[in-house]
Chains A and B, each alone.
Chain A
Amino acid sequence: MLAIQGITQVFGGLTALDDVTFTINRNDITGVIGPNGAGKTTLFNIISGIYTPTTGTISLDGRNITKFPPERLAAFGMVRTFQNIELFGQMTVLENVMVGLHTKSRCGIISCAFKMPWHLHEERRIRETAHTWLRFCGIDELADTTAANLPFGKGRLLEIARALALEPQIIFMDEPAAGLNSRETMGLADLIRKIRDRGITVVLVEHDMELVMDVCDRILVLNLGKKLAEGTPREIQENPAVIAAYLGEG
C-alpha cells in the first residue's frame, strides 16, 4: 500500500538516508530495525511529512504523497508516534485523545464560540469516542490526569491511543517499547496485534529484537542510511549481512 522509492535525505554534508526503496503491505506489521543513527527516525519523519526528502518519492495506494504536510496525511489516515514522546503536556489524558479526534469533527471557531447545538452534540461524541480509545489502550482510569505527570510507559500508551483516535489506515510507531519494563513490553505486543486485528497497518521502529521478531510479519534493516536487508523475521535472523552489522556494532 505504501511505496518508498529511492529516498535520499542529506543534512548539510551528512547523508542520513541513501536511496532507500521499500514497500509496506496492507495489514502487515512491519518492523524497521538498525543501529542508532541508521536513519530510522529520519525515514519516519519523511513518510509523515515532517521533512521533504532530498530525492525520492513516497506513494500511498498509487498517489504521490511525498510533499504532503502532516496535517494533510492525517486526513488520509496516516499517523505516527514519536521516539521522544510528544504529548500535549499541559492537557489531560482525555483531552490529548480528543485532539486526536480533530479530523473527525468539523465545528469551526464561530460555532464553537457561540456554542451552537450541533457543537454540543459533537463535543459529547468526541468525549465518548476518546474514552473508547483510552479503554482500548487500557488507560481509561487516567483520563483526568495531566499528561505531563504520566509515568513514562503510560505516556507511550497515550501516544498510541491518541494516534488511534484518528482511525488511521496505517500507524507508524517510533520505538514504542523504549523505556518500558518487560511486563509493559508484553502488553505492548498484545496491543500491537490488537491494532492490526482492527485492520490497521502497523510499522514500528524498535530495538527490542525479541518484540520485533515476535510480532512483525516483515522487517526492513537499515544501516548507515542504506537498506541492508528486508524479509521475514526468519530470513533476517539468518541474513549474514545483518549478523555482521550487528556483531560488528556490538
Chain B
Amino acid sequence: MKRELVKYLLLVAAAVSMPYFFSDGYMMNVLVFVGINTMLAVALNLLLGFAGQISLGHAGFFGLGAYISGVLTATHQVNPWLAMLIAAIAVSFLAFLIGFPILKLKGHYLAMATLGLGIIIYIVFNEAVDITGGPSGLSGIPNLALGSLVFDNDVKNYCLVWTFTIVTILLAVNLAHSRIGRALRAIHDSEVAARVMGVNVRLLKVQIFALSAFISAVAGSLYAHVMTFAAPASFGFHFSVELVTMVIIGGLGSIYGSLFGATLLTLLPELLRTFQDYDIIIYGLILILVTMFMPGGLVQGIPSLLGALLPKKKEGRG
C-alpha cells in the first residue's frame, strides 16, 4: 500500500512539473493527447487486463463521448460540463445494455462482436450527416470553461486533461486493490471458480464494461472540447487496435503500464515523423512480439529478456 502511494505521488509530481519543463506549445499539445490516451488505455485495461475480456470497439465509445458532447454543445448550446456528464452517462448506459448479450460471448467471438459494434458506431458517425456532419466532421465545439477561465490553449488544456487523467489513475489503482479488483482477476484466471466463490461473473463483467465505457466517453468528451472538432477518422477500427496495443505494451493488468504504453504510442509517431501512416507496421510487430515473448508487457519484459540473454552469453564464453 505504501508503495502504491509513493508511485502515485511521484506521478502527480511529474504531471505537475511538466509545464515547467516544456514551455513550448507543441510538447504540451502532445502531452494533452498522452493524457487522453492514458485514460482510454486505463479504461480498456480494466476490462482486458483485469477481467480478461477483450474489446476491439473502444474507439467507438470514445467517439460516442466526443460526438454526444460535441453535438449537444455545438448544435444545441448545452453547457459543456453538462454535456460531458450526459455523454458519459448515456454511453455507459448503452454499454451496460449491450454488455449483457455481448459479454456472454468469449474469446474470439467477443473480439469479433466488439469489433462489429465499433464498426457500426463508426458507420453511423459517417452516415448520419445531418447530426454528425459526416466524414468531414463536426466543428465549432466550444472549449470547456470554469467561470472566466476558458481552457483554450495548450497549457490550460494540459492542466484540464491531466487532472482527469490523474483522477482516473487513482480510481483505477484503488479499484485494482479492492475486492472488485480481485474478483475481476479471479474471472480472468478461472471463471468457473470465481462463480463457485460467489462472484456474480455476468453482472460484474457488464458493470466493468460500463465503467470502462464511461471513462472512454469522458475522454472522448475532453477530446472534443480540446480539439473543438471531431471527425470519424479518429474513432475507427485502427484506433481500437492502437488502444489494445497500448495496454499490451504496458502489460495486462498494470495501470501504470497503461500509462507507459499510452505515452510510448503517442510519442512514437511524433518522434518518427517520417513513418507517418506506416506506424501500423510497428504496431503489428509490437503486438505479435510482445504477446509472444513478453507476456507481462515491455516494462517487465525487457529486463527479463535481458536477464535471459546475459547468462547465456557467459555460458558461451566459459
Contacts and interface: CB of A to CB of B under 8 A. Distances in A.
A/B: CB atoms within 8 Å of each other: yes
Interface of A: 48, 50, 69-71, 74-75, 79-80, 82, 86-91, 95, 98-103, 105, 107-109, 112-115, 119, 122-123, 126, 162-163, 166
9 contacts: A50-B195, A79-B197, A82-B193, A86-B192, A88-B194, A102-B197, A107-B180, A113-B178, A114-B171
Given A82-B193, A112-B181, A99 B201 contact: no
B182 A79 contact: no
A19 to B, nearest CB: 26
B211 interface: yes
Contacts of A115: 174
A49 B227 CA distance: 52
Given A112-B180, A113-B171, A115-B174, A91 B189 contact: yes
B175 interface: yes
A88 B193 contact: yes
B198 interface: yes
Interface in B158-196: 171-172, 174-175, 178-183, 185-186, 188-190, 192-196
A114 B37 CA distance: 22
Interface of B: 171-172, 174-175, 178-183, 185-186, 188-190, 192-201, 207-208, 211, 253
Contact of A105 (B174, B175, B179, B208): B179
B174 to A, nearest CB: 5
A114 B211 CA distance: 14
B196 A102 contact: no
B190 A88 contact: yes
A70 B207 CA distance: 19
Contacts of B171: 113-114
Contacts of B174: 112-115
A123 B1 CA distance: 12
Contacts of B201: 71
Contacts of A70: 192, 195-196, 198
A109 B194 CA distance: 17
A119 B186 CA distance: 19
Contacts of A80: 196
Nearest to A104: B198
Nearest to A107: B179
Contacts of A113: 171-172, 174-175, 178
A71 B195 contact: yes
A122 B178 CA distance: 10
Given A50-B192, A113-B174, A115-B174, A166 B180 contact: no
Instruction: List the 6 closest A-B pairs by CB distance, nearest first.
Output: A74-B198, A112-B178, A103-B198, A86-B193, A88-B189, A70-B195
Given A71-B195, A112-B175, A162-B197, A87 B180 contact: no
Nearest to B199: A102
